[in-house]
Amino acid sequence: MKKLGLFRSIHVKFVLIYVLLIFVAMQIIGVYFVAELEGKLKENFQKSITSHINLLTYSIGEEMTKERTESDPPLEVAINGILLDKNNGNNDITEVRVVEQRSKRVIGTSNTSNQALVGKKTTDFLVKRTLVVGREHSEIQRDKDTGRRMWVLATPITENSTVIGVVYLIADMENVFEEMNEINTIFITGTAIALVITAILGVFLSQTITRPMTDMRKQAIAMSRGNFSRKVKVYGDDEIGQLAVTFNTLTKKLQDSQSSTEGERRKLSSVLSFMTDGVISTDRRGRVNLINDPAARLLDVSRETVLGQPIIELLGLEEEYTFEDLLEERESVILDYSKQNQPYVLRANFSVIQKETGFVNGLITVLHDITEQEKIEEDRREFVANVSHELRTPLTTMRSYLEALAEGAWQDEEIAPAFLGVTQNETERMIRLVNDLLQLSKMDSKDYQFSKNWVNFSTFFTNIIDRLEMSKKEDIIFKRDVPRTAFYVEIDEDKITQVLYNIISNAMKYSPEGGQITFRIREADEQIVISISDEGVGIPKNTLDKIFERFYRVDKARSRNVGGTGLGLAIAKEMVVAHGGKIWAESVEGKGTTVFFTLPYEQEQEDEWS
């Protein structure tokens, strides 16, 4: 711990930074100097060798291109003689070989121990590349036996721009690298001496700067503990001395500001305590540092348990928001704490506590209980959705008949009046539907006005199917299993029409292409059972009991696509129950759904009508 404290000292940091700056500067200079010097030494070495080899190449080229006589020695002997004479001029050259272009053979070497190579084909890749390309090539290699670095150079011998051979040279470069190592050693030694001197000077220099700063640190610690009486000693009139004077002035002003802030805090605490809205304040890290009583009541928490808790956890937003998201949130956030049968919704508005410089100090959250408002708004949305749902079917039927009339049916004296009559009936029924929908608020009190009449339900059901068949999709098949027997029941035709429209339209919406909708009527104990079956996607078994609840939709996404509101079957249930019947559904997922409902039926009444 003492070692860590030592490295945290500004005195040590100042010395370390000072030494590191000198060290980095010297390293940069050294790297540049050594790199340039190494390049220069290599360049001078290679120039020296190249100038020597150029003379050698010229002499060998003359020997290879001249016409030989019987008195002249063989070419190999002449080449060896030239190589032995010229090689004495440079001690760095280890070996020089001459390779002929046509045969790719070595015709001479300056190394007496390698004379066995003369007359053999060369295998060196550098020589082969020079023979093919016709340009000079070189590289640095390591000797396999000694490990010394050698410079290998292959220079073409040309005659009238034609390559007739190659001079292959091997020169020892290890002396160049040894000189570089000596220079590096000298540079490292000089750097170490300079760093030691720099560190000693840095210690003395840092003391003159850190002493007044140490005093100011002690004063800051005293101020954090509430002691504003201590003063910082001023050592001079330089920048640090002026800082000490400013620090003493700041201490006085801070003491005055603290007194003023404490008074304002008491006023704010009093205001927050008597506010009806919930208020929560956080620090810059998003942790709650203030919550008033209304907010604690709205969230059903105690002040002691939430202080220090992150605001996103307190509001239950950790899965949707981060604290940074709330800082940028400009709209209200709805907090839904509703339980199964107990709606409870809050609205949260966020305001950032921010300085003029833009620094964020925290967040203010204001909570409002909007449970009642949300309920009213939900009722309004449900009512509008219900109106749209209930008006769609009669409008579709009217459009079908009107399109038929527009396409020429109005000229048919038999069909046109019938079509116009149906359109007029649908218009009147639509007006009645609107009037019924406006009375939705009375559904709980069963405030219905029925106009019942005795009706042959078989004929009535068939007429309803006929109307909807005109507006159905062409790829949906209607199958009727309606007996010709007359079933007379006492019903309100408009209400039961609405029931059938709701059920059949749902079957049409969820039927697949080529699907079949089957209509049946069966007689049971003192009632008739009406069923409408489709071949749609079906309904999960665990939701069958819920589909007749108001606004319940099995598949919300699909319901939106087909225009469902979840109210049609609920209205149907209300109407059927009001007629003394009951309604239910049976379904198999993937195979379809059948909706049943019953109506009271008395055989004695049937006999009277007969």
Residue 395 lies in a domain: yes
Name the pLDDT band for 437 (thresholds 50, 70, 90): low
Residue 323 lies in a domain: yes
Phi (first) and psi of residue 600, to 5 degrees: -60, 135
109 touches 83 (CB < 8 A): yes
Residue 44 lies in a domain: yes
Residue 17 lies in a domain: yes
pLDDT digits (tens, 9 = 90+) for 254-267: 777 777 777 777 77
Name the pLDDT band for 490 (thresholds 50, 70, 90): very high
Q: What is the CATH classification number for the domain harbouring 162?
A: 3.30.450.20
Q: What is the CATH classification number for the domain harbouring 462?
A: 3.30.565.10
In the predicted model, what is the mean pLDDT of the chain? Answer: 79
pLDDT at 564 over 50: no
pLDDT digits (tens, 9 = 90+) for 91-135: 778 788 888 888 888 888 887 777 778 878 888 888 888 888 888
**497 shares its domain with 588:** yes
**289 shares its domain with 430:** no
**384 shares its domain with 346:** no
**360 shares its domain with 418:** no
| Domain count for the chain | 3
Collapsed DSSP state (helix, strand, coil) of residue 169? strand
Residue 267 lies in a domain: no
Residue 439: the pLDDT is 46
d(CA 486, CA 456): 6
Residue 243 lies in a domain: no
pLDDT at 471 over 90: no
Token readout for 123 is 């295998």
Q: Please, which residues bridge with residue 368 across strands?
A: 347
Residue 198 lies in a domain: no
Predicted TM-score (pTM) of the model is 0.36
Contacts of 563 (CB under 8 A, 6+ apart): 388, 389, 392, 509
**Secondary structure in 3-state letters for 202-250:** HHHHHHHHHHHHHHHHHHHHHHHCCCCCCCCCCCCCCHHHHHHHHHHHH
pLDDT digits (tens, 9 = 90+) for 385-431: 656 766 776 788 788 878 887 887 777 777 888 878 878 877 876 77
How many other CB atoms are found less than 10 A from the CB of residue 228?
16
Residue 560: the pLDDT is 41
**410 shares its domain with 492:** yes
Token readout for 343 is 């709606």
d(CA 206, CA 18): 9
* Locus of tokens 């003689």: 81
Rounded mean pLDDT of 150-156? 87
pLDDT digits (tens, 9 = 90+) for 231-282: 777 776 767 777 777 877 887 787 777 777 777 777 777 776 667 788 888 9
Final residue belonging to a domain, choices 369, 385, 413 = 369
Among 27-36, 144-153, 207-216, 592-601, the least confident range = 207-216
d(CA 125, CA 414): 106
599 touches 527 (CB < 8 A): yes
**325 shares its domain with 450:** no
**383 shares its domain with 365:** no
pLDDT at 530 over 80: yes
What is the DSSP code (8-state) at residue 120? S
**384 shares its domain with 365:** no
* Angle in degrees, 0-180, between the axes of helices 174-224 and 239-273, rounded to the nearest 10: 50
Range of the domain at 164: 7-178
Final residue belonging to a domain, choices 178, 202, 229 = 178
The Cα-based distances of 352 to 312, 322, 327, 328, 365 in angstroms read 15, 14, 6, 8, 9
d(CA 456, CA 485): 9
**455 shares its domain with 538:** yes
Residue length of the chain: 610
